[in-house]
């Protein structure tokens, strides 16, 4: 287990009240755990800003019947197979599909893959959930 360091710092009363409100509203057991998570979130943002190795999920929603789209999306995924860890496909209804594509690689490579998938005609929406390998945030 990592050594714990006890901190003491001052913040404005309104900010403190908002902090307490968030800790309570989000059901954190204590303030420390909430602040740890805030710091980790910021560190992950910095990993993405610095083009570090990252983990992400790309979620796509697309039209199942769009001409050639399924093949095109599959071709792109094969081309980037070194970055793709897993894919889950869901048939949303008669006409629409969703895919959750779990990827790992440099942040810019992940952004590029997401962009290529998103710009295909018939893709209705693409979202990237940016996460981390976890190596730098313990």
55 touches Ni ion (CB under 5 A)? no
CB of 84 to Ni ion, least distance (A): 18
| Whole-angstrom distance, CA of residue 128 vs CA of residue 99 | 12
Nearer to Ni ion, 55 or 73 (CB): 73
Q: Which of 91, 121, 125, 136 binds Ni ion (CB under 5 A)?
A: 91
Q: Which of 97, 101, 113, 128 binds Ni ion (CB under 5 A)?
A: 97
Tokens 């800790």 map to which residue?
Answer: 23
Helix residue spans in the chain (DSSP H): 13-25, 31-49, 69-79, 107-118
Nearer to Ni ion, 31 or 63 (CB): 63
| Whole-angstrom distance, CA of residue 73 vs CA of residue 116 | 9
Tokens 């360091």 map to which residue?
Answer: 5
Backbone conformation region of residue 105, classed left if phi is above 0, alpha if psi is from -120 to 50, else beta: left
Nearer to Ni ion, 16 or 91 (CB): 91
36 touches Ni ion (CB under 5 A)? no
Number of residues in contact with Ni ion under rule CB under 5 A: 2
CB of 126 to Ni ion, least distance (A): 16
Where on the chain is the footprint of Ni ion (CB under 5 A)? 91, 97
């Amino acid at each position: 287990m990592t050594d714990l360091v006890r901190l003491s710092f001052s913040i404005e009363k309104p900010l403190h009240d908002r902090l307490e409100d968030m800790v309570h509203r989000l059901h954190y057991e204590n303030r420390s755990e909430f602040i740890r998570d805030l710091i980790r979130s910021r560190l992950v943002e910095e990993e993405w800003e610095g083009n570090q190795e990252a983990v992400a999920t790309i979620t796509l929603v697309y039209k199942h019947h769009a001409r050639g789209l399924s093949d095109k999306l599959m071709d792109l995924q094969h081309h980037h197979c070194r970055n793709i860890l897993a894919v889950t496909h869901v048939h949303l209804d008669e006409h629409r599909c969703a895919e959750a594509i779990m990827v790992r690689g440099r942040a810019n490579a992940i952004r590029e893959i997401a962009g290529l998938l998103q710009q295909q005609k018939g893709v209705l929406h693409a979202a990237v959930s940016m996460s981390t390998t976890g190596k730098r945030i313990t």
